């Protein structure tokens, strides 16, 4: 949908000394089918992805990195989804344990020597830039990850604008924007009012569905935060 997001993630992790591999055969995480009450189809998606990732896991892959928090929330559920599948239960549990949002990886690496060098190079790259952070429900509620994006953006000197009711949904919510368009539109309008209230120059998010949903009416750019980090690295 937005291939530039994964491209940015590859470049950022490379700068941190981490190799990101995109395995052949992987596909949709299964969240869409899960949202549409098609659990068997969602399990089939999970099995296909596990099959694609497993050879790399056996060779020592340290993490399965997600750039879309909605996908990350779903993949973290693979252990639960396939708990009663004798052929996949153990593998699914292993995949759940290895799954990380890209913000977790970058945050952890910021404390290493290469990360400290990177932080120094980034220190003023976005100095004074006003950014509103949209934390997707799948990140802050589904994966219980809060504050990581904000810390990374502040590392670059960005000024984060206040966002009221940041815990509320933007209205995208997987297939919700399609199945419940009126309620979804109302949620989006409320979220954009909150995000724009501090007069930011752009909105940073962590989930492709939310980015597409909000970006249609935001009036300012809505981008994945990893793209901003990547741009700052390339200009340093």
Q: Which one of 68, 103, 138 terminates a domain?
A: 103
Query: Distance (Å, rounded) from C-alpha 194 to C-alpha 191?
Result: 5
In a domain, 59, yes or no: yes
CATH number of the domain to which 217 belongs = 3.40.50.1860
Q: Structural domain tally of the chain?
A: 2
Q: CA torsion, points 55, 59, 65, 70, in degrees to nearest 10? A: 30
In a domain, 108, yes or no: no
Same domain, 134 and 227: yes
pLDDT in tens, 5-64: 999 999 999 988 899 898 999 999 999 999 899 999 999 999 999 999 999 999 999 999
DSSP secondary structure, 163-228, as one string? -TTTTS--S-TTTHHHHSHHHHHHHHHHHHHHHHTT--SEEEES-HHHHHHHHTT-SS-EEEHHHH
What tokens appear for 12 in the block?
């950022």
Same domain, 137 and 220: yes
- Is pTM beyond 0.75? Reply is yes
The percent of residues above 90 in pLDDT, for the chain, comes to 76
Same domain, 92 and 181: no
Same domain, 142 and 223: yes
User: Taking 90 as the threshold, does the pLDDT of residue 149 lie above it?
Assistant: yes
Same domain, 71 and 164: no
Query: Distance (Å, rounded) from C-alpha 105 to C-alpha 188?
Result: 29
Give the chain's mean pLDDT: 92
Amino acid 128: pLDDT: 80
100 φ/ψ angles, rounded to the nearest 5 degrees: -135, 140
The percent of residues above 70 in pLDDT, for the chain, comes to 95
Q: Identify the sign of the CA torsion 45, 48, 50, 52.
A: negative
By residue range, what is the domain housing residue 86?
Answer: 3-103
Same domain, 22 and 99: yes
């Amino acid at each position: 949908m937005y291939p530039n997001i994964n491209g940015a993630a590859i470049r950022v992790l490379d700068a941190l000394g981490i190799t990101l591999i995109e395995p052949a055969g992987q596909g949709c995480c299964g969240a869409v089918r899960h949202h549409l009450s098609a659990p068997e189809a969602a399990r089939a998606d999970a099995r296909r992805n596990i099959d694609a990732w497993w050879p790399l896991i056996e060779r020592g892959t340290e993490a399965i990195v997600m750039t879309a928090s909605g996908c990350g929330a779903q993949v973290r559920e693979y252990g639960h989804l396939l708990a009663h599948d004798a052929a996949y239960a153990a593998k699914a549990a292993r995949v759940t344990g290895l799954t990380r949002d890209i913000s977790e990886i970058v945050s952890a690496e910021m404390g290493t020597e290469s990360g400290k060098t990177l932080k120094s190079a980034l220190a003023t790259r976005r100095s004074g830039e006003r950014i509103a952070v949209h934390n997707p429900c799948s990140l802050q509620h589904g994966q219980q990850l809060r504050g990581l994006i904000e810390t990374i953006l502040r590392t670059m000197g960005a000024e984060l604008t206040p966002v009221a009711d940041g815990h509320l949904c933007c209205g995208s919510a997987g297939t919700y924007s399609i199945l419940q368009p009126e309620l979804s539109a109302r949620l989006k309008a409320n979220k954009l009012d909150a995000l724009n209230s501090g007069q930011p120059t752009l909105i940073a998010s962590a989930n492709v569905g939310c980015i597409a949903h909000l970006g249609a009416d935001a009036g300012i750019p809505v981008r994945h935060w990893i793209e901003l980090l990547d741009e700052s690295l390339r200009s340093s």
